[in-house]
Structure 1
Amino acid sequence: MSPDFYFALTLFVRMAVTAAFLIAATVTAERAGPLIGGLVATLPISAGPIYIFLAIDHGAHFVGQSALGSMITNAFNIAFAVVYCLLAQKRSLVVSLVGAFALWAVLTWIVNQVHPGLWGAIAINVVALAGGLWLVSSLRHVQFPRMRTYWYDYVLRATMVAVLVGIVVTLSHHIGATASGNLAVFPIVLTSIIIILHPRVGGPATAAVMSNAVVGLGGFAVAMLVLHLVADALGSVWSLLLTLAISVGFNLLIFYAQRRMKTA
């Protein structure tokens, strides 16, 4: 088997596996309501498999450095979700999504000129999370109507995330760890959920999902911080397992805290 054919085959398998995982997770999110939907959307649905592939191809040190890039981009994803939520209250899908991506792109460009280190990444996430929670706190509790999912919805999300996996895995050999980490958490899952939900349930209901996603992105930032700090010491397997446990555990705590507040 030629090296090029082997690379193409393994890349296809990686893209297919990640796409299948994304479909299962996002279907669950859409059928479980805004709180669970937002929290599931911020689990490492697409980033998790990408990091596994980066670990296989490059090792633990590369993964740890990539996590710093992902942590920085996570703050921009919070801003992305917040801007969408605010615009979606009265604006169309196109206007809301374009506005969210415009801010995401501007923030990415600005920070890429500065190259913040670890403390800069932490500060950006703290500011984004604090401001984001304040801005969307009143938007999380909107009644979410029942909706029907169509076959082409699955094709859309599978294609979007598969392309992202292919780009990151292929370019990781050329663009380095930090840029690979930036791309690994491109808001592909949030975008696919918005594109599918907004035309069917409306902007405010979709914004309720994204508002809860802002909370979950705080946990994802913590998970990426831990991955950056422990990857070299623990190795790829244990550091990635710990990162997954932190992300899932944080979202479970948020879920049970929200449930207790409702029943109190």
Structure 2
Amino acid sequence: MPAELSHIVFLFLRMTIAAAFVVSASVITERSGPAIGALVATLPVSAGPSYVFLAIDHDAAFIAQGALSSLPVNAATIFMGLTYVVLAQRHSMAVSCCSAFAVWIAIASVIRLFDWTLTAGLAANFVAFGICIPLLSGYRHVKMPLVTRRWYDIPMRAALVATLVAIVVSTSNWVGPRISGIIALFPVVFSSMMVILHPRIGGPATAAVLASSAWGLLGFGIAIAVMHVAVVEFGSPVGLCLALATCVTWNLTLWWNGRRRRRVEA
């Protein structure tokens, strides 16, 4: 097989695998309700495949450096979520989503100007979540209407993630680890939730799902830090596995605590 054709086939395979992750996560989210859906949404559904394929093409030093850039981008995502949640209470999807995207792009543009350390990235996350989590808490308790899935919902989410993977993999050789780490954390899942759910169930209900994702997103940031440290010490495969385990353990703990709280209140 010619080298160019082989590259195209391999890229298509990667995009297909990433899309399959999104389809699986979407089905789980829609069948489990907003609380579990918020936790599934903060698993590495889009960033995970991107980093796996980056690890195939690059060494551990590249992945570790990319993780340092991804860590502060996680803080940008929570500010994006806060912007949407506040605006969605009274404004249209176009105003809410465009404003949220503008906030993410503005913060990510500033992030790319600096060489981030692990300490600085963690500090950015703890400050951002320390501000945003209390502000988001009042928007979580909204009665959720029944969500009817339309034929294009899952294909659109799959296409978004597949496109993200294609961009990350295709450009990583010339943009370097810093920009690759930023692109890998583009909030595809949050974006698709806003675009799909807002016209269907309204801004406040969609905002409640995103607001419920705040604690899970904090755990995702911790997982990125774990990935950086573990990749440096043990290599990319172990680092990626430990990052995934951190995300899953964190979200299962949140689910268990929420379930125990509901039993106490009952």
Instruction: Tell whether the structures are fold-level matches, with TM greater than 0.5.
Output: yes
Q: In 1, Cα distance between the equivalents of 2:16 and 2:212?
A: 28
Q: Are the counterparts in 1 of residues 223 and 247 from structure 2 also a CA contact under 8 Å?
A: yes
Unaligned runs of 5+ in 2: none
Q: Which residues in structure 2 correspond to 1:219-238 (within 5 Å)?
A: 219-238=219-238
Q: Is 1:40 aligned with 2:58?
A: no
CA distance in structure 2 between the aligned counterparts of 1:152 and 1:93, rounded to whole angstroms:
18
- How many residue pairs match? The answer is 264
The equivalent of 1:107 in structure 2 is 107
Once the 2 structures are TM-superposed, how far is the Cα of residue 107 of structure 1 from its aligned partner?
1.1
DSSP-derived class of the 1:139 partner: coil
Tell me how far apart the structure 2 counterparts of residues 68 and 33 of structure 1 sit (CA, whole Å): 33
Q: Does 1:54 align with 2:54?
A: yes
> What is aligned with 1:143?
143
Q: 1:31 Cα shift? A: 3.0
Which whole-Å deviations, capped at 9, do the CAs of 1:41-94 have from their partners, x for residues lacking one?
Answer: 110001111111111110222111111111111110111111111111111111
Q: Look up the match of 2:161.
A: 161
Distance, in Å, in 2 between the alignment partners of 1:224 and 1:173 is 21
Aligned pairs (5 A) from 1:210-221: 210-221=210-221
Counterparts in 2 of 1:1-264, with a 5 A limit? Answer: 1-264=1-264
Quote the Cα distance in structure 2 between the aligned partners of 1:113 and 1:5. Answer: 36
In the TM superposition, what is the alpha-carbon distance from 1:111 to its structure 2 partner? 2.6
Q: Distance between the aligned counterparts of 2:78 and 2:2, measured in 1?
A: 43
**Which sections of structure 1, spanning at least 5 residues, go unmatched?**
none
Percent identity over the alignment is 44
Distance 2:29 2:90 in 1: 24
Any idea what SS the aligned residue of 1:151 has?
A: coil
TM-score norm. by structure 2 comes to 0.96
Say if 1:144 and 1:31 are closer, same or farther in 2 by CA, change over 3 A: farther
Aligned counterparts of 1:137 and 1:248: Cα–Cα separation in 2: 22
Whichever residue aligns with residue 163 of structure 1, its letter is: T
Q: TM-score of the superposition, structure 1-length normalised?
A: 0.96
SS of 1:254's partner is helix
